[in-house]
Amino acid sequence: MKGLAELKNKVVNAPHVNIFKVATWTTMGALAIFFLIYIFIGDEIFNFSPILILIAFGTPFVSLMMSKASVKRAYNIRMIGNGEARTGKEQLVVDTITLLSEKLNLQKLPEIGVYPSNDINAFATGATKNSAMVAVSQGLLNNMNETEIIGVLAHEMSHVVNGDMLTSTILEGFVSAFSIVIIIIINILLSGNRKNNRAGNVIASTGTFYLLRNFLNFFGRIIASWYSRRREFGADRLAAQITEPAYMKSALVRLQEISEGRINLQDNDREFAAFKITNNFSMGSFANLFATHPSLEKRIAAIERMEK
C-alpha cells in the first residue's frame, strides 16, 4: 500500500445524501406524532403538548449545533488545518482530509484538530457536512502508520459525507418526542382517575406510568444503539470504497491488536486504550443490544467480504 500518493489517483464516486428526503420524513414523523396525541386527548393537545414535544424533539438539535464548540473546549483541541501542523503525521492528517474533501465534493473543508490524549481515538462532529470537524488523538498518531491513519480518517469522513450526525440527531429527537407522547397520554389517564377519586386506580396507574417511562427509555437506547452499529458498518464500507479495503482493514486490525495486547503501545498508552472509533468490549448477546459499535471481528469480516 502506497498511502496518500496512491489515494490521489483513485477515482471516487461521492455518495449523495438527499436532504429533501430527510426533511420530508422528518416532517411526516412530526405530523404523525401530533396526530397520535390528538386521537387520544383531542383539543387538549393545544394546551401544552406542542411545547413539550418541541422541547423533546429540539433539544438534540441544540446539542448538535453546540457540539463543535463544546468538544473543542472539553478535549482541548488544537486546530492544525491552517498551516499549523507541527509534525509529519499531523500534516498527513491535514493532507488526507483535504484530499478526501475534494474527492467527496464537500463545499467546505472540515475543521481539523489534534488533542492531547493517549486514547486511540478519532471522531467527527458538526451540524452538517459543510460545518464539520474531524479530530484525532495524539495517541492515534503515535501508534498508527500512514495507511492505518488514512483508513481511520476515511471512516470519519464517511460519517461526515453521509450526514450521520444529523440523522442520529433526528432519530434521537423522534425517540424523545415519542416518549413524551406516551407520557402525555398516561398523564391524561391519571388525571381522569384522580377526578374519579379512585385511589387504587391512581396508584396502579402511577406504577404503570413509571414502568412505561423506564421501558421507553430502555427501548430508545436499543434503537439508538442499533442505528449506531448500522452507521459504523456503513462508514467502514464507504471508507473502503473511497480508499481501498486494505486501508480500512489495516486500521481495524491495528485496533484489534492493541485492544488484545498483542503489540506494545508507545509511552503509557496502554492505560488509556479505550477506542472511541470502536468499543471492543466482550459482552453477552443481551448487552450487545446496547453496543454503539459492532465488534472488531465483525467489522473486519465485512471488509474482507469486500476484498473478494
Q: Which pLDDT tens digit goes with each residue over 289-300?
A: 778 888 899 999
Q: Tell me the per-residue pLDDT of 96-108, one tens digit each, with 9 for 90 and over.
A: 999 999 999 899 9
Q: What is the rounded average pLDDT for all residues in the chain? A: 77
pLDDT given at position 280: 47
Per the residue annotation, which of 111, 146, 156, 232 is the catalytic one?
A: 156
pLDDT given at position 137: 94
Spell out where the chain has E strands.
78-79, 111-115, 122-125, 133-137
> Cβ contacts of residue 242 below 8 Å, gap of 6+?
10, 12, 100, 103, 104, 154, 157, 158
Q: Is 123 helix (H, G, I), strand (E, B) or coil?
A: strand
Q: Given the C-alpha cell 486500521, which residue does it identify?
A: 251
Contacts of 203-211 with CB under 8 Å at 24 or more apart are 209/183
pLDDT given at position 139: 92
pLDDT given at position 87: 95
Q: What is the mean pLDDT of each run of 10 residues along the chain (308 residues)?
A: 73 60 61 65 57 70 79 92 94 96 92 92 88 94 94 95 82 75 67 51 56 77 87 93 93 86 49 44 62 88 89
C-alpha distance from residue 232 to each of 7, 82, 157, 295 (Å):
22, 29, 12, 10
pLDDT given at position 174: 75
Closest CA to 95 of 5, 155, 162: 5
179, 182, 188, 194: CA torsion to nearest 10: -90
Active site residue 156: yes
pTM: 0.78
pLDDT given at position 89: 97
pLDDT given at position 246: 93
Please say whether the beta carbons of 96 and 4 come within 8 A: yes
The partner residues of 238 in beta bridges, in order of sequence, read none
Q: Tell me the per-residue pLDDT of 259-291, one tens digit each, with 9 for 90 and over.
A: 776 555 544 443 333 335 655 444 556 667 778
